[in-house]
Structure 1
Amino acid sequence: MMARAVVFAYHNVGVRCLEVLLAHGVEISLVVTHEDNPNEAIWFDSVAQLASLHDIPVIKPTDPNTDDVLHQIKAAQPDWLFSFYYRHMLKAPLLTVAPRGAYNMHGSLLPKYRGRVPVNWAIIHGEIETGATLHVMNEKPDNGAIIDQQSVPILPNDTAQQVFEKVTTAAELTLYRCLPALLAGTAQRFPQDLSQGGYFGGRKAEDGRIDWAQPAIVIHNLVRAVAPPYPGAHTCIAGQPARILRTLVVSQHLVTTAMPTLYMQDNKLFANCGDGSILRIVELELAGTPLDAAGFMQRFGHTPQTLA
């Protein structure tokens, strides 16, 4: 008998995992996704377009936990319910519709980094690996039993987008590997040790403000965690708003400096951080305009500029 599923999905993880279900012959009776936010940079692929390509019905409710949506899910008669980077929490009435269970793909190695934007948080905390985890879905986010997971490395200069691309592949591999056993009813479940991780909330653009009193490595991790297509790490230079978009840690040794400053040396831009460690500024915008070392020299000469 063919397995039938309702899929809640968005973003690249949603697209790739939906492709995996289709490749395994799962009948998708309904896809639930989001309307794209016009105020958000849409740099990822469209679940709705993929569903349309395969003639799968699509709904885009602002709230999935309504009686109307619940009625539509029940009418779709799913054996399974899957959530792949869908942004809303699903409440108990939805989670109990599918008799063979509800499962979520999360972008971390659970139990670490439960909650929102796990890739960004992992980079901010200097992690050297992350991954994707398929787990049983219940009302409390990201704490159900693990079905399978796949790790990927976080290299020292990886940006959030680069890591997210790896996590997308990890999600695809995880689902592809465990789906046959899941559909056959033979997949193992491994309870999480929740003491080994914690919950993290969403992030706002203002959370990307740089604290120059921090060491260079901490600032570097923030910069790459919020680099475009995310809003970018921001600061003030010469009284004007600036975004630091790419950096390299060149020294963690202390140098004598009265305060954090931006300066040019050997035709490169550097920042002395609050503890005296040094950060190379590879990509910078000042008042919305790119500023390289030559532009810095033309504008400020050899005078170091205070960072605030």
Structure 2
Amino acid sequence: MTTSASPAKAVVKAVVFAYHSVGVRCIKTLLARGVDVRLVVSHTDNPAETIWFESVADLCREQGIPCITPDDPKSVQLKEQVAAIAPDFIFSFYYRHMLPLDVLALARRGAYNLHGSLLPKYRGRVPVNWAVLHGETETGATLHEMALKPDAGDILAQVSAPILPDDTAYEVFGKLTVAAEQCLWAALPDLIAGTARRLPNDLSAGSYFGGRKPEDGRINWQQTAQQVYNLHRAVAPPYPGAYTDQAGQRFIIGKARLSKSDVANLPIGLHVVDNNVLGVCGDGRALHIIELLMDGKIVGTQELATLLKQAA
């Protein structure tokens, strides 16, 4: 009696464009699902940026995966490299550039992006920060087809994550990284088998948001306490932080909570009350500022009280 050998499992080849912790976790997920990652395209770290996230380049060195960091994803050289691999799939995981259509077309079985929101909401840049700024109570990760417009292709899978009332964007990003891994892990078997279902991405039900700059963190104390608190949460360290200029100094909020103190008789802005730092807002409520920074150092309540008194 003879037994026939099982047919060899087809190798699924991928080229991955990736950066950040989401890039690291999603590359690990591809490897765990048996995908042969032939090339990773990433970014060179910006020395002016606070690097608080995991390194795709370090992961590639550990795994022996070729990793390149071209300045221009539209270069002919990059297109030729991808074409030579003849990938089944192209994936993008928190890569910061749009990929040209002629590169996407090189993926024989499709090109897919992992976006950090529940599409079609918060298409575009820094979706976690925008969601926190707008007081959302939920976000998530979406795996979708890449198209000409950003975050506009059909949806394959989504996993949600809660945004708690005091969560900062940094804390939400940790949840999002897990959601991204779960989303990709669940979608890959059907994607590889060619049986993945696609849902339309109704762009009319969401909005596109651009990038944010450090100067966008300026506090408008005329706003409600909840609005100012949401700004703080959206840009709290390791992001640049919500800031205010007062008493001839620039102060950045490191940590804060909504205050329960009665501050109806105080003008808007920073105050020291009963040895606590408060930021009084336009609706007569305040933030209890637990950590206030000046020139990168924590400002004590007595030092702040002296500065404010001298400027009065």
User: Normalized against structure 1, the TM-score is what?
Assistant: 0.94
Q: In 2, distance between residues paired with 1:14 and 1:58?
A: 13
Runs (4+) off by over 4 Å: 251-254, 303-306
Q: Which has the larger displacement, 144-153 or 235-244?
A: 235-244
* AA in 2 matched with 1:286: M
Secondary structure of 1:93's aligned partner: helix
Letter in 2 for 1:150: V
Q: 1:261·1:304 contact (CA, 8 Å) conserved in 2?
A: no
Partner Cα distance (1:262, 1:177) in 2: 48
Aligned to 1:265: 273
- Residue in structure 2 matched with residue 283 of structure 1 by the alignment: 291
Is the aligned partner of 1:59 residue 2:72?
A: no
Q: Give the structure 1 partner of residue 5 of structure 2.
A: none
Q: Does the 8 Å CA contact 1:208/1:232 hold for their aligned counterparts?
A: yes
1:48 counterpart = 2:47: no
Q: Which stretch shows the higher mean deviation, 288-297 or 50-59?
A: 288-297
Structure 1 residues 66 and 184, CA gap change in structure 2 (3 angstroms): same
Whether 2:170 is the aligned partner of 1:168: answer no
Count of residues in Structure 1 that have an aligned counterpart in Structure 2? 303
Q: CA deviation at 1:304?
A: 10
Quick one: which amino acid aligns to residue 250 of structure 1? S
Q: Tell me whether 1:23 sits opposite 2:32 in the alignment.
A: yes
The answer for the alignment partner of 1:189 in structure 2 is 198
CA contact (8 A) 1:114 1:197 kept: yes
Structure 1: where are the runs of 5+ without partners? none
- CA drift of 1:286 comes to 2.5
For structure 2, which runs of at least 5 residues remain unmatched after alignment?
1-9
Q: Contact 2:219–2:244 at 8 Å: present in 1 too?
A: yes
Taking the aligned partners of 1:132 and 1:254, their CA distance within structure 2 comes to 40
Aligned to 1:223: 232
Cα contact 1:262–1:304 (8 A) shared by 2: no
Residue 179 in structure 1 maps to residue 188 in structure 2:
yes
Q: C-alpha offsets along residues 64-122 of structure 1, whole Å, 9 cap, x if unaligned?
A: 11111000000111000000000010011011001100000000010000000000000
Judged with a 3 Å threshold, the aligned counterparts in structure 2 of structure 1 residues 189 and 290 are, in CA distance, closer, same or farther, namely same
Fraction of identical pairs, as percent = 54
Which deviates more from structure 2 when the two are superposed, residues 112-121 or residues 238-247?
238-247
In structure 2, distance between residues paired with 1:224 and 1:276: 20
Q: Does 1:38 align with 2:47?
A: yes
Residues of 1 paired with 2:63 and 2:295: CA distance? Answer: 45
1:147 matches 2:150:
no
Distance in structure 2 (CA, Å) of the matches to 1:39 and 1:4: 35
CA gap of 1:305–1:212, structure 2 versus 1, over 3 A, is farther
**Is the 8 Å Cα contact of residues 82 and 103 (structure 1) preserved in structure 2?**
yes
SS in 1 for 2:142: strand
1:13-66 residue CA offsets vs partner (Å, 9 max, x unmatched):
000000000001100111111111111111111111111211111111001111
Q: CA RMSD in A?
A: 1.7
Q: CA deviation at 1:288?
A: 3.4
Shift of 1:261: 3.2
